[in-house]
Amino acid sequence: MNQPSPYKNTGGLRHIARALVYSLQGLGAAWRHEYAFRQEVALAIILIPLGLWLGHTALERLLLVGCLVLVLIVELLNSAIEALADAISTDHHPLLGRAKDIGSAAVLLALLLAAATWLTVLGADALFTQRTLP
């Protein structure tokens, strides 16, 4: 019979507080060590308020902001994969290289989804908003 991991917590408020601390440590580590994450955060700092302003409905705002948050989430997962791969070995290994490449591809797809979302939401707005000349 499998024994539960001694590192797993059983739950409760203490567990929630620890999880929050670990999450904040993870964000801090990503900020300190991952240039791409800092770039994407800088972009999100500019685009999130813009998305909230440009979106006309709650759904449009959610789409514009949510896809940016998704990019940050995928970048965090990619950074975790890269850190784990580097902890295993910094020597070239085809499987570690594949894992890093797949993580990078996931970030690319998230960025393309964000761009398509913004173009669709804002493009649809431009197409369907009637403008009259003064």
Is there a domain that residue 73 lies in? Answer: yes
Catalytic residue among 40, 60, 75, 82: 75
Is there a domain that residue 77 lies in? Answer: yes
Is there a domain that residue 21 lies in? Answer: no
Q: For residue 93, give its domain range.
A: 35-128
Q: What is the 3-state secondary structure (H, E, C) of 82-112?
A: HHHHHHHCCCCCHHHHHHHHHHHHHHHHHHH
Is there a domain that residue 2 lies in? Answer: no
- The dihedral of CA 112, 116, 119, 122: what is its sign? negative
Domain count, the chain: 1
pLDDT in tens, 74-122: 999 999 999 999 999 999 999 999 999 999 999 999 999 999 999 999 9
Q: What pLDDT is stored for residue 57 in this prediction?
A: 95
CATH code, domain with 70: 1.10.287.3610
pLDDT in tens, 1-56: 577 766 666 678 888 999 999 999 999 999 999 999 999 999 999 999 999 999 99
Asked if 75 is an active-site residue, the reply is: yes
pLDDT in tens, 42-81: 999 999 999 999 999 999 999 999 999 999 999 999 999 9
Is there a domain that residue 69 lies in? Answer: yes
Which of the 8 DSSP states describes residue 9?
A: -
Is there a domain that residue 8 lies in? Answer: no
Is there a domain that residue 13 lies in? Answer: no
| Mean pLDDT score, 123-129 | 72
